[in-house]
């Protein structure tokens, strides 16, 4: 009798514990009923999606489409709060720009970077006292002076090396496609190396650690995944050590330049060390040049510059390519008449609206990061729903509002600032799924065609104080690279299997195949 009673108590306790552990939905926000009755939540569905599609990021948009709602919830990790997906540009803009006291960088985003660059500002919340100091440390790296005087010439020089290489490959290929992936990756790495360290040459360890960082975006528990990999992968540990040793050597070289030179700073690292000198002098302390903050900020600068600053002109859009080349020739007419390359000053200082439009449409159509994450720092409201503090909110940038018609939302459901202060146009639902740079151009009756950066929804680099720090560098690199490759080559239309649109998730979204068939024009 006693045993039977004890067993009954255990069964009842187990049932209550099971019920307690089940996911608890936020009232009123759509969700999968089966996921709410499963301790693993949506995790099995997400893993199956990733296995079938080879990537996870598009799942967030697909979840909103499945429920036909702009705000949905899901459970990625057992025994945690529900997470949200908000698929609406107007509300996303409001959250990123105007509701920063209610929303900060998401914990998952911080976790992804924590293992590799724990002392980089991207792995910190805005309330972290280190965040402000780190942003001050790197402030000069996106200043117009540094970009134009240091970054732009290096981008130009390395792009011309790529042009020379592709000219030779085009000749050897004899009108056949070749794989350009390695060339593009190496060129991007050479560009950012030179700007970061003031030296040339690829860095195997840096690339290996960056590749490891890319795997963290596909991990459900990135902090744990990083620790396991570091414990079990001796080559990864060696690459971390090599990366740290290389950065330490370059710091010493930069110090030598700064202490013995004329004060001219020729690299990102020079600027970081000068900032540390100034901060130490102001605080009355000794400078700490080999600090984890300087090392991580420098490594983050290299990885971000390498990963997010490349764009591509699809060979499927022959009309766009021809129109862009014509626009470049019209503006860089002196270079055309003198049978020479446009100079770096011509590219960076002369206005080519159609070039800006092609870059912006490429970013809209193939965003480097198709989803951003934020976390509620207080109890708040999204689209009329009460959302508790500590809720992760994912903001897709490639679905409704961007390339698909947005969900209808009454103003009464929106936040006050969203209704009163939102800006920018809206895309025509009839063609928003198509690649069309013309959507970014305005044609005033009494003036020339102009590029309109606010023509419609785009969030490729985020917005607000936690938007992508390297946005200006990315645009500069895209402008120079795209101008020079289109000036020098005609990209032939590729047939299957060379024109595959397949992609995979790394730090950014990367094409699975990257073939080109080129005809040298100059």
Give the dihedral sign, CA 6/7/10/16. Answer: negative
Residue 308 pLDDT = 56
CA atoms within 13 A on the CB side of 297: 30
Residue 12 pLDDT = 55
Q: How do residues 213-260 score in pLDDT, each as one tens digit?
A: 888 887 878 888 999 999 999 999 998 999 889 889 888 988 888 887
- The token pair that represents 306 in the structure block: 């390498």
Q: How do residues 120-171 score in pLDDT, each as one tens digit?
A: 888 888 888 888 888 888 888 888 888 898 889 989 999 999 999 999 999 9
Write down the mean pLDDT value for the chain.
Answer: 87
Confidence tier at 353 by pLDDT (50, 70, 90):
very high
Q: What number is the average pLDDT over the span 377-397?
A: 95
Residue 311 pLDDT = 46
Cα 126–132–138 angle (5° rounding)?
120
Q: Is the pLDDT confidence value at 312 over 60?
A: no
Q: How do residues 2-55 score in pLDDT, each as one tens digit?
A: 665 556 565 655 544 545 556 689 999 999 999 888 888 999 999 999 888 888
Q: Is the pLDDT confidence value at 68 over 90?
A: yes
Give the dihedral sign, CA 446/447/449/455. Answer: negative
Highest mean pLDDT among 83-92, 110-119, 264-273: 83-92
Q: Who wins on pLDDT, 253 or 496?
A: 253
Residue 15 pLDDT = 47
- Residue carrying structure tokens 């999968």: 32
Query: What Å distances lie between residue 254 and 99, 196, 296, CA to CA?
Result: 40, 10, 16
Confidence tier at 343 by pLDDT (50, 70, 90):
very high
Q: Give CA–CA dist 275/259, Å, rounded.
A: 14
Confidence tier at 1 by pLDDT (50, 70, 90):
low
The answer to whether 508 and 369 have CB atoms below 8 angstroms apart is yes
Task: Please give the DSSP secondary-structure letter assigned to residue 466.
Answer: G
Q: Give CA–CA dist 141/126, Å, rounded.
A: 20
Residue 53 pLDDT = 85
Q: Give CA–CA dist 189/200, Å, rounded.
A: 9
Highest mean pLDDT among 70-79, 106-115, 122-131, 507-516: 70-79
The domains located in the chain, with CATH, are: 139-371+420-520 (1.10.630.10)
Q: Give CA–CA dist 478/204, Å, rounded.
A: 24
Residue 8 pLDDT = 59
b/e per residue, 127-138, with b = 16+ CB within 10 A? eeebbeebeebb
Q: Is the pLDDT confidence value at 301 over 70?
A: yes
Confidence tier at 210 by pLDDT (50, 70, 90):
confident
Q: How do residues 444-465 score in pLDDT, each as one tens digit?
A: 888 889 999 999 999 999 999 8
Q: What number is the average pLDDT over the span 350-356?
A: 97
- Residue carrying structure tokens 């540990």: 237
- The token pair that represents 305 in the structure block: 């510059």
The answer to whether 50 and 57 have CB atoms below 8 angstroms apart is no
Please name the helix (run of DSSP H) or strand (run of DSSP E) that holds residue 422, with its range, or none. none
Residue 323 pLDDT = 96
- The token pair that represents 466 in the structure block: 């936690």
CA-based R_g, the chain, Å = 25
The answer to whether 149 and 468 have CB atoms below 8 angstroms apart is no
Query: From the annotation, which residues make up the binding site for heme?
Result: 468
The answer to whether 176 and 473 have CB atoms below 8 angstroms apart is no
Q: How do residues 246-297 score in pLDDT, each as one tens digit?
A: 889 888 988 888 887 766 677 888 888 888 888 889 889 999 989 989 888 8
Q: Is the pLDDT confidence value at 381 over 60?
A: yes
The answer to whether 120 and 299 have CB atoms below 8 angstroms apart is yes
Residue 231 pLDDT = 92
- The token pair that represents 477 in the structure block: 């690199």
Query: From the annotation, which residues make up the binding site?
Result: 468
């Amino acid at each position: 009798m006693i045993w039977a009673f004890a067993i009954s108590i255990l069964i009842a306790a187990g049932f209550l514990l099971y019920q307690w552990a089940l996911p608890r939905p936020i009232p009123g926000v759509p969700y999968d009923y089966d996921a709410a009755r499963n301790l693993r939540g949506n995790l099995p569905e997400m893993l199956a999606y990733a296995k079938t599609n080879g990537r996870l990021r598009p799942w967030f948009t697909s979840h909103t489409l499945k429920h036909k709602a702009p705000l949905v919830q899901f459970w990625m990790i057992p025994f945690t709060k529900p997470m949200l997906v908000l698929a609406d540009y107007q509300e996303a803009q409001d959250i990123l720009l105007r509701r920063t006291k209610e929303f900060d960088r998401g914990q998952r985003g911080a976790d992804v970077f924590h293992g590799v660059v724990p002392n980089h500002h991207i792995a910190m919340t805005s309330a972290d006292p280190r965040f402000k100091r780190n942003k001050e440390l790197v402030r000069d790296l996106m200043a117009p002076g540094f970009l134009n005087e240091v970054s732009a010439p290096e981008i130009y020089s390395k792009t011309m090396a790529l042009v020379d290489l592709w000219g030779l490959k085009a000749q050897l290929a004899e009108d056949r496609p070749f794989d350009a992936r390695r060339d593009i990756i190496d060129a991007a790495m050479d560009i950012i190396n030179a700007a970061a360290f003031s030296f040339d040459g690829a860095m195997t360890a840096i690339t290996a650690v960056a590749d490891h960082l890319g795997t963290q975006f596909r991990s459900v528990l990135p902090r744990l995944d990083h620790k396991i990999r570091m414990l079990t992968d001796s080559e990864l540990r060696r690459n971390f050590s090599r990366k740290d040793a290389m950065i330490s050597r370059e710091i010493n070289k930069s110090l030598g330049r700064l202490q013995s030179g004329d004060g001219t700073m020729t690299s990102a690292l020079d600027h970081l060390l000068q900032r540390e000198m100034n901060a130490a002098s102001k605080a009355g302390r000794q400078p700490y040049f080999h600090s984890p903050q300087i090392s991580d900020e420098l490594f983050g600068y290299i990885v971000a510059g390498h990963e997010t600053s490349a764009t591509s002109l699809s060979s499927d859009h022959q009309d766009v390519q021809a129109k862009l080349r014509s626009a470049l020739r019209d503006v860089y007419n002196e270079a055309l008449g003198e049978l020479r390359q446009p100079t770096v000053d011509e590219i960076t200082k002369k206005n080519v609206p159609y070039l800006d439009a092609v870059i912006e449409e490429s970013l809209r159509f193939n965003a480097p990061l198709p989803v951003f994450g934020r976390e509620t720092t207080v109890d708040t409201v999204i689209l009329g729903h009460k959302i508790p503090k500590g809720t992760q909110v994912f903001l897709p940038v490639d679905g409704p509002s961007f390339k698909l018609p947005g969900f209808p939302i009454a103003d009464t459901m929106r936040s006050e600032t969203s209704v009163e202060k939102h800006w920018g146009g809206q895309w025509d639902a009839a063609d928003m799924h198509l690649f069309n740079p013309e959507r970014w151009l305005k044609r005033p009756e009494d003036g020339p065609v102009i590029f309109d950066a606010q023509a419609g929804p785009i969030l490729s680099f985020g917005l607000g104080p936690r938007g992508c720090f390297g946005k200006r560098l990315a645009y500069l690199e895209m402008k120079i690279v795209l101008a020079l490759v289109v000036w020098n080559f005609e990209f032939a239309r590729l047939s299957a299997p060379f024109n595959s649109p397949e992609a995979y998730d790394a730090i950014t979204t990367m094409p699975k195949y990257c073939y080109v068939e080129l005809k040298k024009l100059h």
